[in-house]
A and B are shown apart, each in its own frame.
Chain A
Amino acid sequence: MMENIPLTLALLNLFLPLISFIILIFFGKKLGSYAHWVSLALIGLMLCITGSLFVNIFHNSETPILSTSIQWFTTGSFTVELGFLINNVAVIMLFVVALISSLVHLYSVGYMKGDPRYSRYFAYLGIFTFSMNGIVLADSLIMMYIFWELVGLSSYLLIGFWFEKDSAADACKKAFLTNRVGDIGMFIGIMILFFAIGTFQIDGLIEGVRNGAFTDNMTLLTIAGILVFMGAVGKSAQFPLHIWLPDAMEGPTPVSALIHAATMVAAGVYMVVRIFPILTPDALEIIAYVGGITAIMAAIIAVTQNDIKRVLAYSTVSQLGYMIMALGVGAYQAGFFHLTTHAMFKACLFLCSGSVIHAMHHALNEIKDHDTDSQDMRNMGGLKDKMPITFWAMLFATLAISGVPFFSGFLSKDAVLAGTLSYYNLHHGWTIFLPLAGFSAALITAFYMFRLIFLTFFGKPANDKVYSHINESPILMTFPLILLAVLSFALFFTIPFSLNPLDSHGWFTNAVPMIENVAGLDMHEVEEGIHHAHYSAMGISLVVATIGIFLAVLFYLLKKVDANKVAGVANKLRLYNLSLNKFYIDEIYNLIIYKPFLALSWLCSKIDWDIYDKIFINGWGWLTIKLSDKSGEFDYNWLDQKVVDGFGKITQYVGNNLKLTQNGVVQNYLLGGMLGVLLLIVLIQQF
């Protein structure tokens, strides 16, 4: 019975949000504005259960807490199993999901108040949490893939929650389709692994690679790894499939915090963490470059965005790039650590921006101004006095993301940067790109995050009329902010082992030990390198963070330098426009994918309609009519008139003539018979 406790907890954990979804989708209309009680109760229970699992990680067992599976179905030699694999990484991820999900539920009660589809919203949150838990708990790639698609679905539903807006409807389609591109690669990758090793179980795959399933053909394993990673490129919005995430901000802001900042987009990183042992050094190098490009590019774009949520969206893309880059350079721990800390402070940032947008929206509604954009930072300013709780929470989270000591982001970002630096120390050459991208992205991140803070909360209000109507959000919304802001402090990730703010050793590093890479990467070497690079990385990252913050202060707080002038100078080389237009990636896709596709479709329709339809199909019709005409004529004139009627006429003629012999004289008949017999006799004699 004791062994079954983790299984029961895991099952409860998985299905409680689903129950919430089912209740709300069927009875939501009846519950009306009380709908949130159902989901709050169930998600709260789930958080408690996860908490009880979370306690386990302090025992620091190397063996998983739970590893069990049942056979789902078998066809021939093809067996699919479903099961749970709960190790420390999974528990931490579960806890992050449960915590942020429950805080977002709470926050949404205030944020979504009065929405016509209130209960539907909570139902969607329920199915999202269910699918996310499924990904985290899954012990096989195929089960992970199923839930992977389910989070894609719930993301689609929630981005398009306000589908009356065209932009939201377009954004959800874009998100879904872009994710599909990655998912196809992931599926092919899973199938390659399956046909080489014969199982979907992650443990089984690791064992298979260790036992040399790929020794003759490491390239195939590299390809399989990159293909599976393509799923993460889609889901975690890595270059070149990052384009959907900024558009996904059309969804309600709490959704952006939950799905598009803290949990779902981190699912890709989590998946890479799970399959990390079977990724070859070559595959990891590509993963690192993808992450590095994403990190620096998204950071550059974020600088020039004016929509508060878009800045955060690009910041998310950039930070996800960091995590992926960390995994790529082998800094497995650092990547997952950054995922965890980022989930906290980025969720906080999004919820704060939601709070600001909420306040702006209400103020604009009160003065009946429907033209001003409630998300544009240029319409804000000076909000810190009106919304103190939001301001302080956002400031703490910003300090965390900028990598300021005492905050969680400092530790995790530092670990990531140490990883890249050590990677360069080990490999030299072009790998200098990785630490360069990492440190410049850190500088730019500090700059644009403080730009956001200064534009939103400092300076003079852009519109006094709006400003006077701004109010702090209700307690339901500020409570999650406070909690998440508190969790942005480094303290919570290092206790009880270390109180030194510069030292990241704590429960986290103990709970997530370095693991072995069975595909040929020497993890000891990596660990050693990171250890050596630790202090230099810390020094540089402190310097770049200070420079970034200092520049932001100079530009936006003290206004010593006119930002527009700098932008003008930069624009001589089209740099500003490049960033403002997101490197024209959407336009490039438009040009190389969308336009040719449309042209091809046009051509196909042309061929189909003008040639196939008009000439071929209509030709057949014409031919058939002509043939039928001829055939009908032949039928009537020849068969009917000549053959059929001919038989009739012959019969009539013969009958007419033969009836003369029927004269009724029996003796004539007898005479005929006699002559016939004689004729027969003569004939028989002849032959």
Chain B
Amino acid sequence: MDSLQSYLIIAAILFSIGIYGVITRKNAIAILMGIELILNSANINFIAFNRFGGMENLDGHVFSIFVIVLAAAEAAVALAIVINLFKNIGSVDVDDADLLKG
């Protein structure tokens, strides 16, 4: 089981769960969690390709560290947006936030 394929399958499953969460959940916090899953599936891909792609340096590791940092920053900003959303419309349900409706 120690092959690239199994890692990629894990990452794809994780990505699909993340997407599913993002699209179906109405709660903004849940959507953020879906996004975290998507990011981590990407991290798994980075590490897997680094391990099995024949690379001798640590590029994949460096990228996944970047992604983790980025996810932390994104979570902070996104939570701030959610708090502001709640303050403005009294809910964290994304269906209520339809100000962009044409």
The chain A residues found within 8 Å of chain B, CB to CB, are: 659, 662-667, 670-671, 674
Contact = CB atoms under 8 A, between A and B. Distances in A.
27 contacts: A659-B102, A662-B100, A662-B101, A662-B102, A663-B101, A663-B102, A664-B97, A664-B99, A664-B100, A664-B101, A664-B102, A665-B94, A665-B95, A665-B98, A666-B94, A666-B97, A666-B100, A667-B22, A667-B23, A667-B24, A667-B31, A667-B94, A670-B22, A670-B23, A671-B23, A674-B19, A674-B23
Contacts of A670: 22-23
Contacts of B24: 667
B13 to A, nearest CB: 16
Nearest to B98: A664
B23 to A, nearest CB: 5
Interface string B1-33: 000000000000000000100111000000100
A665 B101 CA distance: 7
A663 B23 CA distance: 15
Contacts of B101: 662-665
A674 B24 CA distance: 13
Interface residues of B, number: 13
Q: 5 nearest interchain CB pairs? A: A664-B101, A662-B102, A664-B98, A664-B100, A659-B102
B85 to A, nearest CB: 11
A283 B22 CA distance: 119
Interface in B81-102: 94-95, 97-102
Nearest to B24: A667
Contacts, number: 30
Residue of B19, B23, B98, B99 most packed against chain A (CB within 10 A): B23
Nearest to B102: A662
A662 B101 CA distance: 5
Nearest to A669: B100
Nearest to A660: B102
Nearest to B100: A664
A674 B20 CA distance: 10
B7 to A, nearest CB: 20
B36 to A, nearest CB: 16
Contacts of A674: 19, 23
A632 to B, nearest CB: 41
A665 B100 CA distance: 8
Contacts of B94: 665-667
A431 B67 CA distance: 129
Contacts of B31: 667
B22 A663 contact: no
Given A664-B102, A667-B24, 7 more contacts: A664-B98, A664-B99, A664-B100, A664-B101, A667-B22, A667-B23, A667-B31
Contacts of A664: 97-102
A116 to B, nearest CB: 96
Nearest to A667: B23
B98 A663 contact: yes
A651 to B, nearest CB: 15
B28 to A, nearest CB: 10
A671 B34 CA distance: 14
B56 to A, nearest CB: 30
A670 B24 CA distance: 10
Residue of A659, A666, A670, A674 most packed against chain B (CB within 10 A): A666
Nearest to A666: B94
A363 to B, nearest CB: 116
Contacts of A662: 100-102
A671 B22 CA distance: 9
B84 to A, nearest CB: 15
A16 B11 CA distance: 119
Contacts of A671: 23
Contacts of A665: 94-95, 98, 101
A659 B101 CA distance: 9
A309 to B, nearest CB: 108
B9 to A, nearest CB: 16
A214 B99 CA distance: 108
Contacts of A659: 102
A653 to B, nearest CB: 16
A674 B16 CA distance: 11
Nearest to B101: A664
A61 B66 CA distance: 121
A607 to B, nearest CB: 74
Nearest to B28: A666
A659 B23 CA distance: 21
